Amino acid sequence: MRPRALGPSDPERIGGYRLTGTLGEGGQGVVYLAEGPSGVRVAVKVLRDVDAESHRRFLREADTARRVAPFCTARVLDAGTADGRPYVVSEYIPGPSLAETVTSDGPRTGSGLQRLAVATLTALAAIHRAGVVHRDVKPANVILGPEGPVVIDFGIARDLGQGTTSTGLVGTPAYVSPELLAGHTPGTASDVFSWAATMVYAATGRTAFRGGNLTALLYAISTADPDLTGVPADLHPLLSASLAKDPTARPSATTLLRELTGDDTPLTTGPSLPATTLTPSPAPTGHPDPAAPPPHPGPAALPGPGPTARLTPSDRGHTTRFTESAPGPTAQFTGSAPGPTAQFTGSGPGPTAQFTESGPGRTSPVAPSGSGHTAPGPGPIAPVAPSGSAGTAPLDAATGPPASGAAPAVAGPRGPSARRRRLLWPAAAVVAAVLVTAVVLVVRPPWGTGPAAGKLLYADDFSERGNWDGYTFAPDAADDSRTTHGYEIDRGVYSIHADTTDPHGAAFSPVPPKGSATPERDVLIAVTARLKEGSASPGVLGLTCRWDEDVPHGYAFTLGLDGTARITRTTSGERLDVIPPAKLSPPAPGTDVRLQARCARSGTGVALTFWVDGSEALDAVDTEPPPETANSQVGLLTQVPEAGGGDLTVSFDDFTVHLPA
């Protein structure tokens, strides 16, 4: 890593360290080259602003990381706070990363590759013995220093959010284990998988799993055998075993190291971490995540380090089952590494994840107001009509005035659940990053059940600029510089503003893509929304599916600032309520609300379900769906009435698109 000069906005000192250059920068922090009081060069990672609980957790994990034995690792030397921002100081290792070296000089071979494998496994074994999970093993985090390979950047927060940690897929996930893609808590086995993927890259110059786009790559990691073509014969069975889909089937770092060095002396001492903790990670905002997996017991704990397993590869390359026990930290993930870049384009199958939670319900449907309903659709908004009368309502960002007409034939709503007060359960953001899945420790609240999810098609936590509409969110800028929907990278959200000058705010996900030859119509979409303080009613926020903005037609699932939940259908600009609206607790400014919507074929109709905070609000089958076209997009919306509306700003996070279960 070659340092670059400090910029005008960079500080000159952090704590007792004088900064001399910048080693790297990401959405959550900056790594500086610095000199300590004695003149020794060190690396100082400074995080962005974080909340008090995240700050305390970071310092605790930094203290834990300082206990890692300095075998082939960059030692953590110090940690503290400067100007309210936590920082950690580690040993500076000069030299290129493995990623840079393979890119410039080609794959590692012969004894150089063997030394690399032994050194990195020695580092992992030391990290795991200290009760730490690295969580971000990849070629960019292996430095080929003057005294040999060194593993850096372990066990410390890499993506502390501001009170809430986001969940999503970012960066290049070619080195992440299948269980992390499914939302499980990382363990030592996750590190072993990432180590093996890193070694495949080192030996061949290619990633072990490949795909033409992110979806194909995630699907390959979850289902396909690794491509080990070109891997030397002595490493082949070890890497094959380490890349097993089942984390309990992977050998530990210690077992791999002993196998490489030919040491078959039985292990008798030393604490260790679990190979993985197969329990679902709660959604960052305290709401159930439709992408999360079902409760799953972890591997059985063994007293002490347990028996030593020797590798006896089968025709598939792995039969070893070796697990380690003891609790370890939980983490959050982001980052980058060599491999296919996650551009979130394209469609197709992804990793399967199922998750359900039980608890009290939330909704109380409004009694039907007669046979005819005019609904909120892409267009102006009107309040819910009183019982017995028809009213107009809002929806997505398309155009056109509110329409009226008879409601389509509908299979009525399911029985109402008990209404309850919204609870705010603050998430304790946990520390560290591995590129793909964000995991947050929270007190699990009694949210409703929520839907099960099928294969993941797309996810975005908006921590990096992607392929959504808009640029930087700037609703207060003048004239052509004004942007009413766009990214707020510093907050890790995508925001949409609506007011009487621009009442119909909407944005569409890049997946499913517009104009696809075979658009994905059956989807389960979800997002976490937060209403900005000072936003004024009336107005709505929500999700869209099967949307064609060129007509316009499609479905919208909206929650009004007054608590009115609606499912509406737009056909050639005409909007109708598919089902009578339901009255819920109004969304509170500054408080997260989880919205989930399912659109799926049901005979000749379309089954539509809307969940708010995990509890079913509305459910219907539309027997007169809009005609199918080449476009079938999903997206977000924020709207106010053209007349009498106020300012409404909604920030969205943790957006996902799954196939229905």
Tell me which residues are annotated as active site: 136
- At 165, the amino acid letter reads T
DSSP strand pairing (564-571 vs 582-583)? antiparallel
Chain centroid to CA 185: 13
> What are the Cα distances from residue 9, in Å, to 5, 13, 464, 472, 503?
12, 12, 21, 20, 37
What gap in Å lies between CA 500 and CA 647, rounded to an integer?
8
- The one-letter code for the residue type at 335 is G
Q: Measured between alpha carbons, how far is 279 from 578 in angstroms, rounded to an integer? A: 38
Contact 513, 520 (CB under 8 A): no
- The 3-state DSSP class for residue 315 equals coil
Residue 331 CA neighbour count, 13 Å, CB half: 30
CA distance 256 to 330: 24
Greatest CA separation for the chain: 82
User: Tokens in use for 6?
Assistant: 């400090």
- Phi then psi for residue 469, to 5 deg, are -65, 150
Residue pointed to by tokens 């106020």: 646
Q: Tell me the HSE value of 580 on the side-chain side, using a 13 A CA sphere.
A: 20
- Residues near 45 by Cβ (< 8 Å), separated by ≥ 6? 29, 30, 31, 32, 87, 88, 89, 90, 156
What is the distance between the alpha carbons of residues 405 and 392, in angstroms, rounded to a whole number? 10
Report DSSP letters for 435-463, one per residue. Answer: SS----EEPPP-------EEEEEEEE-SS
Helices 253-261 and 188-204 pack at an angle, to 10 degrees, of 40
For the chain, percent helix, then strand, then coil, each to nearest 5? Answer: 15, 30, 55
d(C-alpha 431, C-alpha 519), whole Å: 38
- As a whole number of angstroms, the distance between CA 155 and CA 169 comes to 20
Taking Cα atoms as reference points, which of 527, 650, 504 lies closest to residue 596?
527
Give the number of C-alpha atoms closer than 13 A to the C-alpha of residue 346, restricted to the C-beta side.
15
Residues 6+ apart with CB under 8 A from 363: 416, 417, 419, 565, 582, 584, 612, 615, 616, 617, 618
Distance CA 290, CA 284 (A): 12
Give the per-residue SS3 of 382-417: CCCCCCCCCCCEECCCCCCCCCCCCCCCECCCCCCC
Is 96 exposed, middle or buried (CB count within 10 Å of its CB: 0-12, 13-18, 19+)? middle
